[in-house]
A and B are shown apart, each in its own frame.
Chain A
Amino acid sequence: MSEVEENIKRLTANKHVQGVLIVNEDGQIIKSTLEPTLNKKYSDLITKLVEQTIFCIKEMDDTNDLTFLRVRTKKHEILIAPDKEYLLITIQNPETKS
């Protein structure tokens, strides 16, 4: 098993994690552990959200850049680690934490 797969597997094995999605900058799915029906929705919408966020951050200070995005919702938390080319989207359920 390659190191990449191992890392992804370890992440998905975390008991709080509901799903992991890796997309490229255009929102194309590279790897996903979500249900297929949710895939498209998440990849499209979150890519847009990240784009908007980066735009917003750069507009405020053009020397700045987005490094991590955490969205807390009623039902879960979305952790987004952006990079130049790829996005790692992790959905966790914080309710299970003590």
Chain B
Amino acid sequence: MINELVNSLLDGDRPGTPSKAEDTESEKVIPSHHARHSSVSTGYGISPVTSTPQSPSVTVPPRYIPEFSSFEAVILDIAPKELVLYSKEVQTDENSFGPSPPDEHEIRAKILKEQEEKEKARQAALEEEKLKIEAEKKRAQQLKDLSEEDRKKILVSNEFAKFIDHSTKIVERALNENYDFMKDYSIIKDNENDDQSGSRVKNLHSFFDERWTKNRSVTDVNWSHKNPELCVASYNKNPFALNEPDGVALVWSLQLLDRPEYIFHSQSDVLTTMFSEFHPTLVIGGTYSGQIVLWDMRAKSLPVLKTPLSASGHTHPVYSMQMVGTQNAHNLITASTDGLICSWQLDMLVQPQETLELVHSEHSKTDEVSVTALGFPDNETAAFWVGTEEGVCYQANRYGRAGGKAGINQYDVYKGHWGPITGLHFHPISGPVDFSDLYLTSSVDWTCKLWRAKSISKPSTSPQSITPLYSFESADDYVYDVKWSPKHPALFASVDGTGKFSVWNLNIDTEVPIVSTQVGSQAKALNKINWDKEGRKTAIGSSDGRIHIYDIGELAYPRDDEWFIMQKTISEMINTTESHSGRYAIAK
């Protein structure tokens, strides 16, 4: 009874999940577990229920017919725990402690040896130095001085000339740098008395060359599109130097004031020149013989290409030309005084791409239209306007189109000048209001005139004369050239035969120029003028061979409202002309 009680108590205390070891042991002692329980009071805590699994082979008596049933057994395969073993050993090998310290004698010997070696090296170096110095001395003695003969030989050698030409150019440019980068602003110098600070335009420099421009006249000036400091000028022949080429074109740089950067030659007087807008190194020239020449700054002074002197091209003087088109598709349009217009591809000057003869059937003696000036409106490549020797402007088309055929538009006659036209320039587009139909002309009748070009899409069908919008009549001599400012809508500049350079601002005054200044000391006639890209500097070509560069300073920059004031000025001009003549119909 007590045993039973103990057992039941133990059962309650120990739930039936004994350890493996206990299990195996308990199985072994199954037959006598009662006896054991009785003898060992505490025991292993194995209850009869848990320790005797109901194995059928043991417990089922044979008289029962065994019933088979299926069951699912889940066999869990638990891998034995892996044992990782480490073996301990010394990882540093003996060599890492280095050899046993050498004894003192050895060290001493070594140091001595090293010192000796050093000494030797020093001696060797000294010796070498001595030798070198001696060699240098010898060389110096040998070189001593160049003999007068050698010196002369070098001075006349071709290579030396090339070196001098190149290096002096660089040095001169460096010298012409006006800004002193070491300037110390804390030091006050009081020698600042700018003699020209009062005037509004300032003569920056006048280019002149004793050999190349003396006795010649400037026939044209043009600024580089790529390098703002470069300008090119063409010259006619020098009657006193028969051995020099007749025509020259010089490329001048504002950084190299005393001589031209490049000198280009031509067999015939160069009448007009310009930098190619799309090739920074190319310079184009139109000549008196009618040849178009092409110079390259990478090549020598002779033209790299020129048109042949044949009936396929010009055979009369070429006074005007213009590049039209874009970077990828552009043409050079040239006009000669016999009324021939040619269109060229710059890389192929053998023959013109197109030719167009300007003729006017109404002319009394000859039907030729003698072109002295040519102008394309901005962004226009087919229609252009020409100024002629008779003082009349015409519109012309390069190609035939629905409204009319190629050639001159005979009915629209821009009549106003009483002498040959010397310059014609269209308003460059560059702002909020489009003035691209306005153009200026200059003439030997002492005036400049402002015109409004008639829309090309509506040509007249009967003869009609168009009068100028305005006439600027302050000059006392031939007006040789007129050019709009590229930046300011109402600003333009003109040059005349008395050597006067005038800047006009239509928004301020239309009667007189805002600035008029005498260029040069001798009142020589001024042939051409051209603005630089920024519209601040002008290059003026004089008949005494000088190029005068003028800076117009603050005048160059338009205020924001300048465009609208200009629009008002123009519409006032249109109204006045209309009320006067009544013949001019506004296209818009």
Contacts and interface: CB of A to CB of B under 8 A. Distances in A.
Contacts of B155: 2, 4, 30-31
Contacts of A68: 170, 174
B164 A88 contact: yes
Contacts of A97: 178, 180
Given A83-B163, A94-B182, A14 B172 contact: yes
A10 B257 CA distance: 11
Interface string A21-52: 01010111111000000000000000000000
A63 interface: no
A29 B146 contact: yes
B159 interface: yes
Contact of B171 (A24, A72, A88): A88
Nearest to B139: A26
B89 interface: no
B168 A88 contact: yes
Contacts of B192: 98
A94 to B, nearest CB: 5
Contacts of B178: 97-98
- Sort chain B's interface into a size bin: 20 to 34
A66 interface: no
A14 B169 CA distance: 13
Interface in A70-94: 70, 72, 79, 81, 83, 85-86, 88, 90, 92, 94
Contact of B164 (A4, A26, A70, A72): A4
A22 B154 CA distance: 11
Contacts of A14: 172, 175, 258
A10 B156 CA distance: 18
Nearest to B161: A4
A90 B171 contact: yes
Nearest to B170: A81
Nearest to B174: A79
Contact of A3 (B143, B151, B161, B170): B161
A75 B164 CA distance: 26
B163 A7 contact: no
B168 A7 contact: yes
Contact of B175 (A7, A8, A28, A79): A79
A29 B154 CA distance: 11
B165 interface: yes
Contact of A11 (B143, B172, B182): B172
B564 interface: no
Given A4-B161, A7-B168, A68-B170, A30 B154 contact: yes
B77 interface: no
Interface residues of A, number: 32
Contacts of A22: 164
Interface string B480-504: 0000000000000000000000000
B168 A11 contact: yes
B145 interface: yes
B175 A24 contact: no
A79 B165 contact: no
Contacts of A90: 171, 175
B163 A8 contact: no
A27 B163 contact: no
A54 interface: no
| Majority-rule SS of A interface residues | mixed
A17 B258 CA distance: 14
Contact of B154 (A7, A10, A24, A94): A24
B254 to A, nearest CB: 16
Contacts of B182: 72, 94
Interface in B162-210: 163-168, 170-172, 174-175, 178, 180, 182, 191-192
B165 A3 contact: yes
B168 A94 contact: no
B211 to A, nearest CB: 8
A30 B151 contact: yes
A14 to B, nearest CB: 6
B168 A10 contact: yes
Contacts of A16: 175
B175 A70 contact: no
B1 to A, nearest CB: 110
Contacts of A92: 175
Contacts of A88: 163-164, 167-168, 171
Contacts of A8: 164, 168
B171 A11 contact: yes
Contacts of B165: 3-4, 7
Contacts of B160: 4, 30, 86
Nearest to B168: A7
A81 B171 contact: yes
Centre residue among B143, B145, B160, B171 by max chain A CB count within 10 A: B171
A31 B258 CA distance: 21
B524 interface: no
B225 interface: no
A97 B189 CA distance: 12
B188 to A, nearest CB: 13
B259 interface: yes
B193 to A, nearest CB: 11
B464 to A, nearest CB: 59
Nearest to A87: B167
A29 B151 CA distance: 8
Contacts of A3: 161, 165
A8 B145 CA distance: 21
Given A3-B161, A7-B164, A86-B167, 8 more contacts: A4-B161, A11-B171, A11-B172, A24-B146, A81-B166, A88-B167, A92-B175, A98-B192
- Closest 5 pairs (CB-CB, A-B): A81-B167, A88-B167, A7-B168, A28-B146, A83-B163
30 contacts: A2-B155, A2-B161, A4-B155, A4-B164, A4-B165, A7-B259, A8-B168, A11-B171, A14-B175, A14-B258, A17-B175, A26-B143, A28-B145, A29-B145, A29-B146, A30-B151, A68-B174, A79-B171, A79-B174, A81-B166, A81-B170, A81-B171, A86-B163, A88-B167, A88-B168, A88-B171, A90-B171, A90-B175, A92-B175, A98-B178
Interface of A: 2-4, 7-8, 10-11, 14, 16-17, 22, 24, 26-31, 68, 70, 72, 79, 81, 83, 85-86, 88, 90, 92, 94, 97-98
